[in-house]
């Protein structure tokens, strides 16, 4: 895969998986969503923030039945291309990492309207960091960026009163095995549900760290690396017991179990997907999983064993979603799934009782959407 292709795969996967995205009325150009859904679903996400590849953040309100509407103003500038974006778990701040410069900007989220307001920027430790994904611990105190340019993770402490970020020394990832040599290129990054551990997906490894609960500093576990593929996204399952890692190179999803006592990972299984697997979404009840097959322009559907974490393909195994689908997120209400398309839109699907996806709605976004962050749920 050429570097430009790797950038295209990785950049969108920095979306924040706090609670899932919303939907809207209208019919997007690529996904074939219907304007009048046969059954009205319930959405719990309240605001959505869409990052464009060339920069800028568009913001939307989301109604309780999943209708999107642009805020006024509809967007704010970022002064850099999109690298990564996340909403803190308490819903007070939105964090944006610029890809070219590597700095991280804090936006306060205006109560009631959701409009983001720039409150300050933390400079990058190195302009060549090239952050491509971001994670925040469950308490909102520590922020981490996966830097594909220098094979590092940047750590920041978050001032809960102001949103100001204070940088700690960067953590250098281990070299990957095989012909990739020292080129690790981290992309996927996620904390566990307790906030005690951080996991980073890179070429050939998933690397595990413990998180200092006072400072946020990272320490490699006794056996920090688990061999894998080249991972674009890491997702934690609803129970906090498993991590699912997508690989667009090997067209697969790897399932890792988490040792609750030590944080160590064990490779449990690897399942085949369509071509160019970029993201995976898990239903709130943990019964189903959906993988974005970017190159095939399809979504692979799986039943999930809620005890073992194993994935079993549906029959038929895929549905089409034209327009280069890239990201998938679940609404916290458990009834809707949202797919970001690189051609400029978001498709919304209703999750039926048997786990199948039905076209529900959509919105055109423009500006090559490659990032999505969601404000906490409606009261």
Residue 177 is predicted with a pLDDT of 55
Q: Report the CATH superfamily, name and number, of domain 3-374.
A: YVTN repeat-like/Quinoprotein amine dehydrogenase (2.130.10.10)
Strand order in the sheet with 68-76: 68-76, 57-62, 47-52, 369-374
Q: Nearest CA to 255 among 274, 238, 236, 239?
A: 236
Residue 184 is predicted with a pLDDT of 61
- Residue ranges of the chain whose pLDDT lies below 70: 1-38, 176-184, 377-379
Residue 373 is predicted with a pLDDT of 84
Q: What is the DSSP letter of 267?
A: E
Q: Nearest CA to 174 among 153, 197, 188, 157?
A: 153
Four-point Cα dihedral 303, 376, 362, 277, nearest 10: -40
Where on the phi/psi map is residue 113: left (φ > 0), alpha (ψ -120 to 50), or beta? Answer: alpha
Four-point Cα dihedral 23, 28, 30, 32, nearest 10: 80
């Amino acid at each position: 895969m050429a570097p430009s292709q790797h950038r295209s795969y990785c950049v969108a996967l920095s979306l924040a998986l706090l609670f899932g995205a919303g939907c809207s009325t209208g019919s997007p150009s690529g996904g074939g969503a219907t304007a009048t859904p046969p059954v009205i679903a319930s959405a719990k996400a309240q605001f959505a923030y869409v990052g464009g590849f060339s920069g800028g953040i568009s913001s939307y309100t989301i109604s309780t039945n999943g209708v999107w509407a642009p805020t006024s103003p509809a967007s704010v500038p970022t002064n850099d291309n999109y690298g990564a974006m996340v909403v803190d778990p308490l819903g007070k701040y939105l964090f944006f990492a610029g890809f070219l410069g590597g700095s991280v900007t804090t936006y306060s989220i205006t109560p009631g309207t959701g409009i983001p307001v720039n409150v300050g920027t933390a400079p990058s430790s190195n302009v060549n960091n090239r952050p491509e994904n971001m994670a925040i611990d469950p308490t909102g105190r520590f922020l981490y960026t996966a830097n594909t340019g220098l094979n590092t993770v940047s750590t920041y402490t978050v001032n809960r009163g102001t949103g100001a970020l204070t940088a700690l020394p960067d953590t250098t990832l281990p070299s990957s095995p095989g012909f990739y040599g020292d080129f690790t290129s981290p992309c996927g990054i996620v904390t566990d549900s307790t906030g005690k551990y951080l996991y980073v997906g890179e070429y050939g490894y998933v690397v595990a760290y413990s998180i200092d609960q006072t400072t946020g500093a990272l320490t490699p576990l006794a056996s920090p690396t688990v061999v894998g593929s080249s991972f674009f996204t890491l997702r934690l399952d609803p129970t906090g017991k498993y991590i699912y890692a997508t690989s667009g190179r090997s067209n697969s999803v790897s399932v890792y179990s988490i040792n609750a006592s030590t944080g160590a990972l064990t490779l449990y299984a690897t399942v085949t997907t369509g071509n160019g697997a970029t993201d995976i979404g898990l239903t709130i009840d943990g019964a189903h999983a959906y993988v974005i097959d970017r190159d095939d322009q399809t979504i692979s559907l799986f039943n999930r064993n809620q005890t073992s974490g194993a994935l079993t393909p549906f029959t038929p195994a895929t549905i089409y979603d034209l327009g280069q689908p890239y990201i998938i997120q679940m609404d916290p209400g458990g009834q809707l799934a949202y797919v970001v398309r690189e051609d400029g839109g978001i498709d919304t699907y209703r999750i039926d009782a048997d786990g199948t996806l039905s076209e529900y709605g959509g919105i055109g976004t423009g500006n090559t959407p490659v990032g999505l962050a969601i404000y906490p749920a409606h009261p």
